[in-house]
Structure 1
Amino acid sequence: MAVDTDVLSSVRGSRDLRLLDSAELAGLAARIRRYLVERVCRTGGHLGPNLGVVELTIALHRVFDSPRDPILWDTGHQAYVHKLLTGRVAEFARLRQAGGLSGYPSRVESEHDFIENSHASTALSYADGMAKAFRLRGEHDRTVVAVVGDGALTGGMCWEALNNIGAAGDRPLVVVVNDNGRSYAPTVGGFAEHLTRLRTRRGVRSLFEDIGLDYLGPVDGHDLEALEEAFTRARDLRRPVVVHCVTEKGRGYRPAETDEADRFHAIGVVDPSTGRPAVRGTTSWTDVFGSELLNLADRRDDLVGITAAMLRPTGLHPLARRYPHRVVDVGMAEQHAVTSAAGMAMAGLHPVVAIYATFLNRAFDQALMDVALHRLPVTFVLDRAGVTGEDGPSHHGMWDLSLFRLLPGVRIAAPRDAATLRRELAEAVDVDDGPTLVRFPKGPVGPDVPAVDRIGGLDVLRQAPGGDILLVSVGAMAPVCLATAELLARHGIGVTVVDPRWVVPVDPALLPMARDHRLVAVVEDGHLTGGVGSAVADLLRDHDIGTRLRTFGLAPRFLAAGKRQDLLAEQGLHPEALARQLAGSLDAPDWPVPRAEAGRPRTETEEVVGR
């Protein structure tokens, strides 16, 4: 039969898939690939990983009975096909959009989704715990399936989990190793070489067998019949089994199968016929960092870059091209990356650990005890800080300021534009007595925002007479703060806007300015609790300055997916909402209500953004 969108829409789980014959399944796989290319190129998302797991996902859902047999995805960005096969075709057009389908498994979307956390190397631990629980509850007919990539197997949590899984041979647990030789980039390390030997040499004993698991494979990850046979054998063994599946990332879409395949791991909106970006010519924060780090490395041979399997996404590829021996990829192992950087610093180098803000959360203990305790010169560069947009709750980098402000001796910079990113990165790598951290958001960098004055280490972006409000702008919030000040100025409220540049520790030059104003307000795109606003509050309190303080940031909850500017506006971090609240703090008598806001009740979000 011809497989079309209607047939794809009619597949809502295992039972529907089992009704299809071999020819129909092959047609379904081809249709899914066309559908993924067509849709993901419109919305952006993780294209390459999902094109590589089409047959694997179909086979899993034919052999196992989801959700009674939980299928856990590590990482969740390879679960698009799983979503399509579990009744979410209609919603897929709004992938990664506000109110639409999540780019990762989502418990509120479907009973087939179990893990929302998209951080790598976690699924095996979830699977171990679920299998233990099923055994204790007497549910012996349930099998837990964990799909883990070869890239994620470079992470330490996987091996902690396998150590436990292999020692308990009486639990039905299937570990599907999706081996495509890469995560964001080619997988590195000794285990990657071991998988290569398993793929290319017959009779090689697997490491999995040595720690107590059965091993099946390698299996052609695009051969439905072979996959179903392997999964059925694994299911029927009723004990922990590894099924090693060899897949091709980006399969079926020529642009994603070329040497540029890594560019299709995650894409923005692209032309599906060519694979080229629909919008070109923008410079990102990541681009600015990468070029400036290369400039610094040209002058300093002690600078080295460290990445956790994300060379290109974090901007280290220019450095790697020119100085390949000065960039280290440790795999998806953030904890190891940080402590390895500490070792490099002990031996006389200055490591620059480039990492997404959300992923450094995983290495807080290492940053605290292995770097800060030893007062080591390690620079952390946090890409995707604050609200990241479409990737959703697990990827927002909103926790970094609250967490890493706790490191004794740390210095944290929040550049507002490309020029300050270059300057503050240079200042960061010049620090030789403790850790530094430079944070910036995802996306294109806007025009430079010049300072009109410098007071101590503070940049004055707008000077106003009258002493009404001192507005402290954190990093990329500078344009929002300047627009807010302009709105207030139209109604006779004087606002001075300052950018601290280095937000931790707070520059004491802020103290006399605070004394000279009726209100101090801090605007940041991080978590309200423990952020820059809290640091400013501590400084004012410690110096007995009674000026009123308002802090504006992100509410203490997980934020959904959506465009960065929309999510900031939802949190009250846009000029109209800020101006209204600041005017209210000064009891401005006739502050106009913007037309879009008139008659709209206050939301819970608006009540918590100001503290």
Structure 2
Amino acid sequence: MADTFLNSINDPADLRKLSPEQLPQLAEELRRFIIDIVSAKEGHLGASLGVTELTIALHYVFNTPDDLLVWDVGHQAYGHKLLTGRRDKFDTNRQLDGISGFPKRSESEYDTFGTGHSSTSISAALGMAIASKLKGETEKNHIAVIGDASIASGMAFEGLNHAGVTDANLLVILNDNAIGIDPSVGALKNYLTQVKEGTNPRDNNMIKSLNFDYSGPIDGHDLPVLLKELESLKHKKGPRFLHIITTKGKGLKQAEEDQVKYHAPGKFDRLTGELLAIADDNLPPKYQDVFGLTLVELAQQNEKIIGITPAMPSGSSMKFMMEAFPDRAFDVGIAEQHAVTLAAGMATQGMIVYCNIYSTFLQRAYDQLIHDVALQNLPVIFCLDRAGLVGEDGATHHGVFDIAYLRCIPNLTVYAPLNESELRNILYTAQLGLEHPIAIRYPRGRGESTDWQKPFGKIEIGKANLLKGGTKVAILSTGTIGNNVTKALEQSDNASLFSHYDFGFIKPLDIQLLHEIFNQHEEVITIEDGCISGGFGSSICAFAAKQGYSLKIRVLGVPDTFIEQGTVAQLQHLCGIDVKSLKDIFSAY
């Protein structure tokens, strides 16, 4: 079937020229287009397939972009991008210099709010609605499309709580498919299941109790029903709530049957849906698996060990502990603030808590980190997955700020392992009775060696290590970016000029060794896969200034700008911290 309709749509005005009877074919074309591109270029698949009919219906009924539409989370927005002028650019999705994988205000007037992190849509759309009322724009609609995993977050409830006591022209659409990246969890998920199954009395409707005009649940794949319901809601005022039921991955058999794997499946056969085999035999392990498998080993030996993750059991590999020790491993849903304070509460009772949160998402729990953990000096072990540049998810997901926002916190130890063996050993060391909380940052992707499951070794807190001696310039690296330094030096003709030190501990710094370094070298270079402003290099500059050293210090890392999407290799090159860039820098000496 030729894409008769999709190819003629350059904006929603073109969409509205179709008859309602033509929209089901458009839905088929839209799904096929997404499948064809994602199968070859990769990206997030299941979420957008699940909201295809809703996407069409929203742009068909509402007068976008004058009516404001917010997607939460932005994984759902591929169809939205295709209908709003980005069809011809969609093959650049998530690529360097291409379009973003998430809604982005600078990319399109139809992207009213950037939504790379979850649970923000209700607050944002409510803010828009209140602003419109103040400006006298009483006919404008403001729509927040939020998933059932996202709505369980505290911030979403804060938005609902406020909206219910306003007369703001706000429509919240709950896309209920019982799954985020992993299956949804918690009492709210059970409540929504009861609503869908009709086993919960309608007079016990929590959304109605919050003063929303509630309608649903309805079939989110039934276009005539969707169009009728949205048309009715369009002409109502005040806070409204539409509950729709969808299937994540709708239209691709494998994506419907394995919704976790097909959230972002990698490359697959566009016709059969079968995943393309990736040869990973004899490859180093993923850092997330080093964490997950090591945690199980430690938990087998120590019954006080607890694991916590906010909605990332697969991505963080906490799933291994959840399978081995289901009573001691917790997925708390998209609730980073709760995860941190839950861990703190457990720590007060003598439990050894490994709280695994992506670096970019720990930003959402900064007050809890300071107030509930560090201020009370509770020895929670934070395992920050996806630290550094993470690649195609772009600016919303890079874990480049953690060094800067962590090292200023009293009582907190900050450590970045050079490789998977050091990650394994710091996880072991952390449960031996640390007196302070610790944050362990490690990247997305694979390590350096397949020979990593060796007997545990204790790491000395605050100790840095000399990796290579030299005569003139001291290179100080922290974390896995140090492997780029090693490889660059191996390729350099003048490697003898350079010493290379691994500063796993960003805080506390190895002060004794720093004095030796500054006394024995003519120049210092610091390298990190985090932001230069306030990062590891800044701490070395502060040390030098305090101690009165006048050596030249060159700080390399992520510049003071938001880094967009691209492969990790491409983005490291942009920041000048890939192997080739470092080799060129070293060769200039």
Please report the TM-score for the alignment, with normalisation by the length of structure 2.
0.94
Q: Name the SS of the counterpart of 2:439 in structure 1.
A: strand
CA RMSD of aligned residues (A): 2.0
1:500 maps to which residue?
Answer: 503
2-structure distance, mates of 1:278, 1:6: 33
1:472 is aligned to 2:469: no
2:238 maps to which residue?
Answer: 239
1-structure distance, mates of 2:106, 2:442: 31
User: Per the alignment, do residues 294 and 449 of structure 1 end up closer, same or farther by CA in structure 2, a change over 3 Å counting?
Assistant: closer
* Aligned with 2:444 (options 442, 449, 456): 442
How much has 1:391 moved relative to structure 2?
0.3
CA contact 1:166–1:211 (8 Å) conserved in 2: yes
1:41 is aligned to 2:48: no
CA contact 2:489–2:495 (8 Å) conserved in 1: no
2-structure distance, mates of 1:554, 1:6: 45
2-structure distance, mates of 1:303, 1:67: 51
Counterpart code for 1:128? L
* Aligned with 1:406 (options 405, 408, 413): 408
1:458 maps to which residue?
Answer: 464
1-structure distance, mates of 2:496, 2:545: 25
1:126 maps to which residue?
Answer: 124
1:344 maps to which residue?
Answer: 346
1:531 is aligned to 2:530: no
* Aligned with 2:175 (options 174, 178, 191): 178
1:64 maps to which residue?
Answer: 62
CA contact 1:198–1:218 (8 Å) conserved in 2: yes
1-structure distance, mates of 2:349, 2:232: 51
The range that moved more, 503-512 or 335-344, is 503-512
CA contact 2:266–2:275 (8 Å) conserved in 1: no
2-structure distance, mates of 1:344, 1:491: 52
Unaligned runs of 5+ in 2: 453-458
CA contact 2:412–2:507 (8 Å) conserved in 1: yes
CA contact 1:472–1:523 (8 Å) conserved in 2: yes
CA contact 1:428–1:438 (8 Å) conserved in 2: no
* Aligned with 2:335 (options 326, 333, 336): 333
1-structure distance, mates of 2:399, 2:525: 22
CA contact 1:13–1:61 (8 Å) conserved in 2: no
Alignment of 1:200-239 (within 5 A): 200-201=197-198, 203-205=201-203, 206-239=205-238
The range that moved more, 526-535 or 439-448, is 439-448
How much has 1:576 moved relative to structure 2?
4.2
2:143 maps to which residue?
Answer: 145
1-structure distance, mates of 2:468, 2:136: 68
2-structure distance, mates of 1:270, 1:431: 46
2-structure distance, mates of 1:27, 1:445: 46
1:391 maps to which residue?
Answer: 393
2-structure distance, mates of 1:139, 1:399: 39
CA contact 1:485–1:497 (8 Å) conserved in 2: no
Q: Name the SS of the counterpart of 1:522 in structure 2.
A: strand
1:158 maps to which residue?
Answer: 156
User: Per the alignment, do residues 115 and 280 of structure 1 end up closer, same or farther by CA in structure 2, a change over 3 Å counting?
Assistant: farther
How much has 1:24 moved relative to structure 2?
2.2
CA deviation vs aligned residue, 1:35-68 (integer Å, no higher than 9, x gap): 2222112122111111110011111111111100
CA deviation vs aligned residue, 1:318-347 (integer Å, no higher than 9, x gap): 111110111111111101110111001011
1:379 is aligned to 2:381: yes
How much has 1:431 moved relative to structure 2?
4.4
Matched residue pairs, number? 575
Q: Name the SS of the counterpart of 2:266 in structure 1.
A: coil
How much has 1:447 moved relative to structure 2?
3.1
User: Per the alignment, do residues 424 and 104 of structure 1 end up closer, same or farther by CA in structure 2, a change over 3 Å counting?
Assistant: same
Q: Name the SS of the counterpart of 1:430 in structure 2.
A: coil
CA deviation vs aligned residue, 1:257-282 (integer Å, no higher than 9, x gap): 22x32111123233443432442314
1:106 maps to which residue?
Answer: 104
Q: Name the SS of the counterpart of 1:294 in structure 2.
A: helix
1-structure distance, mates of 2:531, 2:7: 40
2:190 maps to which residue?
Answer: 193
2:456 maps to which residue?
Answer: none
How much has 1:473 moved relative to structure 2?
1.6
Q: Name the SS of the counterpart of 1:426 in structure 2.
A: helix
Alignment of 1:287-436 (within 5 A): 287-436=289-438
2-structure distance, mates of 1:294, 1:38: 39
User: Per the alignment, do residues 505 and 270 of structure 1 end up closer, same or farther by CA in structure 2, a change over 3 Å counting?
Assistant: farther
How much has 1:433 moved relative to structure 2?
1.7
2-structure distance, mates of 1:229, 1:113: 25
How much has 1:369 moved relative to structure 2?
0.6
Q: Name the SS of the counterpart of 1:312 in structure 2.
A: helix
Please report the TM-score for the alignment, with normalisation by the length of structure 1.
0.90
The range that moved more, 279-288 or 362-371, is 279-288
2-structure distance, mates of 1:61, 1:476: 45
Counterpart code for 1:186? P
The range that moved more, 435-444 or 356-365, is 435-444
2-structure distance, mates of 1:362, 1:345: 21
How much has 1:146 moved relative to structure 2?
0.5
Counterpart code for 1:252? G
Counterpart code for 1:379? I
1:564 maps to which residue?
Answer: 568
How much has 1:90 moved relative to structure 2?
0.8
1:596 maps to which residue?
Answer: none
How much has 1:162 moved relative to structure 2?
0.8
The range that moved more, 136-145 or 413-422, is 413-422
1:605 maps to which residue?
Answer: none
2-structure distance, mates of 1:261, 1:69: 32
Counterpart code for 1:498? Y
2:455 maps to which residue?
Answer: none
1:485 is aligned to 2:483: no
2-structure distance, mates of 1:481, 1:570: 16
2-structure distance, mates of 1:44, 1:381: 27
User: Per the alignment, do residues 559 and 90 of structure 1 end up closer, same or farther by CA in structure 2, a change over 3 Å counting?
Assistant: same
User: Per the alignment, do residues 141 and 531 of structure 1 end up closer, same or farther by CA in structure 2, a change over 3 Å counting?
Assistant: same
CA contact 1:175–1:241 (8 Å) conserved in 2: yes
User: Per the alignment, do residues 411 and 271 of structure 1 end up closer, same or farther by CA in structure 2, a change over 3 Å counting?
Assistant: farther
CA contact 2:265–2:275 (8 Å) conserved in 1: no
Counterpart code for 2:487? A
How much has 1:571 moved relative to structure 2?
1.2
CA contact 2:308–2:355 (8 Å) conserved in 1: yes
Counterpart code for 2:499? T
How much has 1:449 moved relative to structure 2?
11
2-structure distance, mates of 1:316, 1:275: 26
Identity %: 36
CA contact 1:72–1:115 (8 Å) conserved in 2: yes
How much has 1:476 moved relative to structure 2?
1.2
2-structure distance, mates of 1:312, 1:179: 21
Unaligned runs of 5+ in 1: 589-611
CA contact 1:416–1:449 (8 Å) conserved in 2: no
2:581 maps to which residue?
Answer: 577
User: Per the alignment, do residues 173 and 100 of structure 1 end up closer, same or farther by CA in structure 2, a change over 3 Å counting?
Assistant: same
How much has 1:85 moved relative to structure 2?
1.1
